[in-house]
Amino acid sequence: MTFFKASIRRELINYHRKPSLVLNPLVFYGLVVFLSVIAVGPEKGQLVQVAPAFIWTAALLAILMSADGVFRNDYEDGSLELVVVSGKSLAVYVLAKTTAHWIVTVVPLVLLMPLLGITLFFDFRSIWVLCLGIVLVTPTLSILGAVGAAITLGLPRNGMLTFVLILPFYVPPLIFVTGMIQASQLGEAILPFVYWLLGIFFLAIALAPMVLIACLRMAAED
């Protein structure tokens, strides 16, 4: 637990020293949604129907945009190799890195959601469900993004490769979270979608650490 807390603290300090790592995805997210709204038009009926797709597409791109740097700095300065040879738990290290990435990337999005929801003519229930959907789906997206970053670690200009590798795995959670928003707008039950999203998250958190640890060991050995 001490190693986990120390790793989280170190990551948050690094993000604090480089605020662009936090601001760039947030600004990118806002621009994507804003331009999408301009393309569709200001009519309430159209926006309510297509806005969830814009929101989740923007969230996907924002998370992928920042996922490439999850392990990059540690790999370049030698910290990753020190963690591997130190005997510390790589599972705890991976959990700390992905948790810190989720905090700095997603928490600002959650805080932005009420304002964004009002702008898109969502009612209170839809805004609440929108925030719930982000909290449920983004941990899975962060974990999958970390897997892509670890697989391509050490390759030059690997951002696009990470996107190509991970994008197919983003489709199922995005389908369910979009369905949850649409069900809320129609007054239907959202609980089945919540169960599916939780199931996908638990599956990701059970399987992803094995892939991450193997990839990080190989990257450190290289």
pLDDT at position 199: 92
pLDDT at position 160: 65
pLDDT at position 92: 82
pLDDT at position 40: 67
pLDDT at position 214: 83
Q: How far is CA 151 from CA 108, 164, 217, in A?
A: 27, 12, 11
Going from the first residue of the chain to its last (222 residues), give the mean pLDDT of each consecutive group of 10, the final group possibly shorter: 74 72 73 72 67 74 74 75 77 84 80 75 78 85 83 67 76 84 81 91 88 80 68
Domain that holds residue 167: 2-221
pLDDT at position 202: 92
* Cβ proximity of 106 and 26 under 8 Å: no
Q: How many domains does the chain have?
A: 1
* Cβ proximity of 113 and 127 under 8 Å: yes
